[in-house]
Structure 1
Amino acid sequence: MVTGLTVDAQEEFLAWLRAKGYSEGYVRRVLGVGQAALNRAWKRQEVTEVPWVELPPIGEPYPHTASREQLVAFLNAIPANSHLWVYCLIRMATGCRGDAALDLQPFQIDWAANLIRLNPEGRQQTKKYRPVVPLTSRLRRELESIDAAYYVNWHGRKIASIKKAWAKVRIAAKLPVWFAPKVLRHTVATELRRRGVPHWEVSGQIGHKKAGTSEIYAKFDPDYLGAARTALDAWLDDLAQSVPRLRGHSGVSHMRKVVGGTRIELVTPTMSR
């Protein structure tokens, strides 16, 4: 019952979450979801009053970035037929969040302008802004070889979560527990700054800087986020020296076969067995 959400009950719940080992950021998000649900119920007059919910202080930002050696170990540990490869490449070549990578579909790619609209048409922007970003050369080659409704897919079906696949590869690569998917985005931002990309371009690339009215057409400028594009290509070129699959030696056949006379699919070692 809503009336049961007393201060004592909330404090007990907070203590339980912390005892489970969840981060302060996660604990705050959980409380925030409950707070929003209560406020919505009150706004719609489903309840006459709601209890006060005090959110914990904002936790420290995620402190980790991946070293070159860690990225190389992780990428080389990804199985040849795993959807995790495309997922990682999308995130590393764009700096996007995980949900944007999982949602990416072919109609979001402007092949002529070499752009990716991370926020698909019809989806309302949220505070986790999805920008339009350059399509880097290596990501373009990868996406051109995929024929499916979603780029991150398993036999054509959209992937709901990569947590299990990520955990298996992380363990195989002998990487620490903190090496979570969000480390890719943090590493992209760090790498861009390390390579001298202006801070406003870094903000634009990873979605911290929302496009204003005067910038609606800026994305069609040939130099749009040019420093970020150059830095990302150079970074992936550097990693390719130690990751054969980035050089196109994936061990996965890119031959296609016609299914039912209408659909074209990639032939992978799993499918051929």
Structure 2
Amino acid sequence: MPAGQPRSRATKNVGSKRHELGAYWLWYRADRDDWAICWYVDGTDGRGRRTCRKSLGIGGGNTGQPPKAAQDALAEHYLSNQKPVEAPIAQVYVEKLMADWLIEHAQPNLADPVRYANGVAHWLQFFAEERSAGRLSGPPTVADINSALVERFHAWRVQQGVSGHTIARDTAALRQPLNWAWKRNMIASAPFVPDVKNKGEPRDVVYSVEQVAQLLEAAWSLRDRQHIHMFAMIMLSTNARVEAVLDLDKDKQVRDGLIHFNAPGRQQTKKRRSIVPICPTLAPWLELYQGRAIQWQKRHVDRDTGEPWFEYLPTDSIKNAFNKTLVAAGICQQALDGDGKPVWLPPRHKLGETVPRPKLIGLGSPNTLRHTTSTEMHRRGVPEAQIETAAGHRGTGTNNRHYRHLRPEYLTQFIDGVESFWADVGKLTKAHLLDHNRAKIFHLMV
């Protein structure tokens, strides 16, 4: 067997196109229904290079179509193993610019760098096929980027059954690195990168009051998901941005009955962070513990007594936990593969299962809570200006933007709308209300 070839009878990757990102690729072990990240390392004992593997504990999919969770894990592994550029020297190779942009800009500054890393991976695969077809003589330079090449990429992704919105995100993974390099004088100019045609209408999901109640109950039922409960409470009470809620430090940003979503010393960006009054339903939840508002509870077991205890840890990503909460709440659907066919997972024999089970994915995302809040406020007659202000959209006039939060009437109709919404939720559940028993679970009395 050649050096570096995974030694398993379940390996059937020969002749199949594997999902790669840089020096790393995904490998599927069918007998264990498990994906792993693989890479080569040079041997030090004269045996040549060998293959290292890191199991992900993720199942489903097939060799040619890894599940999204495995692709995200590969992108995270790629980002975490890149070495920063030592000096800002000029670069003309597009693939190098993309790698530098991911490390220096996307990873430290963007809310979801994994999404862009996946987009870069698609471009690298496309460039490789362009070289195989003879349309590129080697690694593409900035001079090779033109409308015809980008439109071929769009057509290539359409053939893979990808939606227009996904292709647009992939296109941004080329456009943004080029613009970033131009602004830093790394290239003389940034070529025009056309957007995808026929993108289609956005598919915004909005949760009903009944679904919000189900989500809160599912989030509260397990301690390692109760940070999703807190996240949902803040999102639905403020109309804030996802990143602003994840960054919220209550000790520094909650004062005088207001949440200042833009932290002290942080410069406002185009995605402005607002100042929102604390509604009565949310107020007691913000007093449960100090520091970051969104902290997940990691379970430990005492070695001496065997008793479990929980450690609070801040988190910058709730994507997976939010999806699992949606599935637990029944707000989900069966996943589809690249051909649009339902995905089935093998039975878990340890749990007594004898037949395959559907792979379920949640409907919507953390940002769906923001869409839900806006929709509910419109439905309840809250003025558009107050909804936009809470959302962080710019108002008119410098004085209005800087000082309106000091007025006694600031966002009063928005808060009335939020409390009206919570009253309707209260007809279905009490999971949004903090009582004595819930406070005790956090080991605090409020």
TM above 0.5: yes
Structure showing greater radius of gyration is 2
Residues in 2 aligned to 1:16 and 1:162: alpha-carbon distance in whole angstroms: 32
Say whether 1:242 aligns with 2:428: yes
**Residue in 1 aligned with 2:33?**
none
Residues in 2 aligned to 1:251 and 1:62: alpha-carbon distance in whole angstroms: 39
Moved more, 208-217 or 127-136: 208-217
Q: Give the count of matched residue pairs.
A: 255
Amino acid at match of 1:108: Q
What are the equivalent positions in structure 2 for 1:75-90 lying under 5 Å apart? 75-78=216-219, 79-81=221-223, 82=225, 83-90=227-234
Of 253, 257, 261, the match for 1:108: 253
Residues in 1 aligned to 2:168 and 2:436: alpha-carbon distance in whole angstroms: 41
**Residue in 1 aligned with 2:403?**
217
Residues in 2 aligned to 1:59 and 1:68: alpha-carbon distance in whole angstroms: 28
Q: 1:240 to 1:6 in 2, by over 3 A?
A: same
Q: Deviations over 1:159-216 (max 9, x none)?
A: 1211111111111112134332222111111111111111111111212233632222
Q: Over the residues paired in the alignment, what is the CA RMSD in angstroms? A: 2.5
Q: Deviations over 1:110-152 (max 9, x none)?
A: 1x3x1111111221222222111111111111001122x2110
Gaps of 5+ in 2: 1-92, 95-140, 297-310, 333-361
Amino acid at match of 2:322: W
Moved more, 177-186 or 11-20: 11-20
- Give aligned-pair identity as a percent: 31
**RCO (CA 8 Å, sep 6+): is it higher in 1 or 2?**
1
Residues in 1 aligned to 2:274 and 2:162: alpha-carbon distance in whole angstroms: 30
Residues in 2 aligned to 1:123 and 1:21: alpha-carbon distance in whole angstroms: 41
Q: 1:109 to 1:56 in 2, by over 3 A?
A: same
**Residue in 1 aligned with 2:237?**
93
**Residue in 1 aligned with 2:326?**
170
**C-alpha contact (below 8 Å) 2:210/2:425 kept by paired residues:** no
**C-alpha contact (below 8 Å) 2:233/2:432 kept by paired residues:** no
**TM-score, normalized by length of structure 1?**
0.82
Q: Deviations over 1:74-116 (max 9, x none)?
A: 1111134221011111100001121111011111111x3x111
**C-alpha contact (below 8 Å) 1:109/1:117 kept by paired residues:** yes
Of 185, 188, 191, the match for 2:373: 188
Looking at secondary structure, tell me which structure has more strand per residue: 2
Gaps of 5+ in 1: 256-265, 269-273
SS at match of 1:202: helix
**C-alpha contact (below 8 Å) 1:72/1:243 kept by paired residues:** yes
Residues in 2 aligned to 1:21 and 1:156: alpha-carbon distance in whole angstroms: 42
**Residue in 1 aligned with 2:415?**
229
Looking at secondary structure, tell me which structure has more helix per residue: 1
**TM-score, normalized by length of structure 2?**
0.52
